[in-house]
Amino acid sequence: MSIDYDLIFNSALKDLRQEGRYRIFNNITRKKGEFPKAVYNNQYGIKSDVTIWCSNDYLGMGQNPLVVDAFVNAVNLVGAGAGGTRNISGTSNYHVELENELAKFHNKDGALIFTSGYIANECALSTLAKFLPNCIIFSDENNHASMIEGIRKGNSDKFIWKHNDVDHLEYLLKNSNKDHPKIVAFESVYSMDGDFAPIKKIIEVSKKYNALTYLDEVHGVGLYGKNGGGLSEQLGLTSEIDIIEGTLAKGFGLMGGYITAKYNIIDVIRSFAPGFIFTTSLPPSLAAAAVASIRYVKNNYSLREALYERAEKLKKLMLAKNLPIIKNNSHIVPLLVKDPVRCKEISDILLNEYSIYVQPINYPTVPRGLERLRFTPTPLHDDSKLEFLVNALDKIWRELKLSRAA
């Protein structure tokens, strides 16, 4: 019997299309110094100016002149690539300096950089789960795919606790073998709803049952805390968390991920994690730019104040029009549509008629029935951009007869 590979691939793609969640990558080319403006290249090759409303470059650091200069200067000094894995000729002054900067940033003994935040989570969690005999992992049900993959790969026992439900976490901890090592894994700022974890309470129950805490601060670093060390810093809890994981790709506007922890934990992951060991290290120029970005963000609290002010203002304008946003205390503004086809349709109208770019967010990034547009205002989105966006949404909501907030 012959296998019809084409049929298998094509029918899977057809299903996605029918569900309205086939992903189309919009070609959006940013222009240095003009963020959040960018050039949209549509499918016919026609270019037009658009405003980006869904970037994770929350502070516009990807275009900060000091960061760009640090990148370019390092390229001019050492060339484009790292030339090897960390162990075999791929460690430079730039990598060492970045890890020192990150350790200092979170007030930990050490730091380890990875090619992305995704890989950092996957590697760190799978390695710890395998390394600790009889390890049990407790994972918040809304944890990011990278943590879920790491936990799955670690192949240890695991329990999923109801999102942000500390009583449920405690119930699960209490009913586990008290002699087995445990890791409680969660996020500080959940990026799709923009809600915060009850970090203090999670730490308290974790300590009570002698579990290590693993905190993903990907949507917190650069954005919360006096120095930008994340929500854990803002709450004065940095030293209580065993492992803090972060990214260089969001608040810092670049690429790459990291963990910070006590030195022996860093040393174990450095020594045993295949996804750290067997891959080429980040380009030195990227590490140089990351150091510049971290230092800038750390020393400019006004960036964070401007971010909060912009997010508050946008939420207020949307609420004034009864647009159904998910309320939260973060910089993320999710607007519920609750239908994948409608969600894509609104995104297309915004792009083609209003030059506003916001990507539809569908399953599996969010549960079915909770499809949404996720707006991320930055300090560079001025009042006129906010008002233009909200007026466009109001008009679309009226024309398509979409449901408003109660």
Ligand X SMILES: *Cc1c(COP(=O)(O)O)cnc(C)c1O
CA pair distance 200, 374, nearest whole angstrom:
27
Q: Which residue lies nearest ligand X, judged by its C-beta? A: 117
Tell which one of 51, 126, 232, 247 touches ligand X (CB under 6 A): 247
> Active-site residue 250, yes or no?
yes
For ligand X, give the closer residue by CB, 117 or 377.
Answer: 117
For ligand X, give the closer residue by CB, 250 or 385.
Answer: 250
Token pair recorded at residue 111: 């730091």
For ligand X, give the closer residue by CB, 206 or 247.
Answer: 247
Which among 201, 188, 199, 194 is positioned nearest to 247, based on CA atoms?
Answer: 188
How many residues are present in the chain? 406
For ligand X, give the closer residue by CB, 111 or 386.
Answer: 111
Q: How far out from the chain centre does Cα 236 lie?
A: 22
Work out how close the CB of 217 gets to ligand X at its nearest, in angstroms, rounded to a whole number.
9
Residue 39: half-sphere exposure toward Cβ, Cα within 13 Å: 8
Question: Which residues partner with 186 through β-bridges?
Answer: 215
Work out how close the CB of 137 gets to ligand X at its nearest, in angstroms, rounded to a whole number.
16
Work out how close the CB of 118 gets to ligand X at its nearest, in angstroms, rounded to a whole number.
4
On whether the CB atoms of residues 273 and 123 are closer than 8 A, the answer is: yes
CA pair distance 296, 101, nearest whole angstrom:
12
Between strands 47-52 and 243-247, the pairing is: unpaired
- Does residue number 249 form part of the binding site for ligand X (CB under 6 A)? yes
Which among 384, 338, 331, 340 is positioned nearest to 360, based on CA atoms?
Answer: 340
Residue span binding ligand X (CB under 6 A) among the ranges 86-94, 212-220, 262-270, 360-368: 212-220
On whether the CB atoms of residues 168 and 146 are closer than 8 A, the answer is: no
Span 110-149, contacts to ligand X by CB under 6 A: 116-118, 121, 144, 146
For ligand X, give the closer residue by CB, 170 or 217.
Answer: 217
Tell which one of 139, 164, 191, 227 touches ligand X (CB under 6 A): 191
CA pair distance 105, 315, nearest whole angstrom:
31
Tell which one of 59, 218, 273, 292 touches ligand X (CB under 6 A): 218
Tell which one of 57, 140, 187, 233 touches ligand X (CB under 6 A): 187
CA pair distance 93, 112, nearest whole angstrom:
14
Tell which one of 62, 229, 253, 257 touches ligand X (CB under 6 A): 257
Work out how close the CB of 218 gets to ligand X at its nearest, in angstroms, rounded to a whole number.
4
- Does residue number 216 form part of the binding site for ligand X (CB under 6 A)? yes
Ranges of beta strands (E only) in 277-369 are: 333-336, 356-357, 360-361
For ligand X, give the closer residue by CB, 213 or 247.
Answer: 247
Calculate ∠ Cα 39-41-42, nearest 5°: 135
Work out how close the CB of 242 gets to ligand X at its nearest, in angstroms, rounded to a whole number.
17
On whether the CB atoms of residues 113 and 102 are closer than 8 A, the answer is: yes
Catalytic residue among 108, 158, 250, 344: 250
Residue span binding ligand X (CB under 6 A) among the ranges 123-131, 214-222, 287-295, 371-379: 214-222
Work out how close the CB of 389 gets to ligand X at its nearest, in angstroms, rounded to a whole number.
23
Q: Which residues bind ligand X (CB under 6 A)?
A: 116-118, 121, 144, 146, 187, 191, 216, 218-219, 247, 249, 257
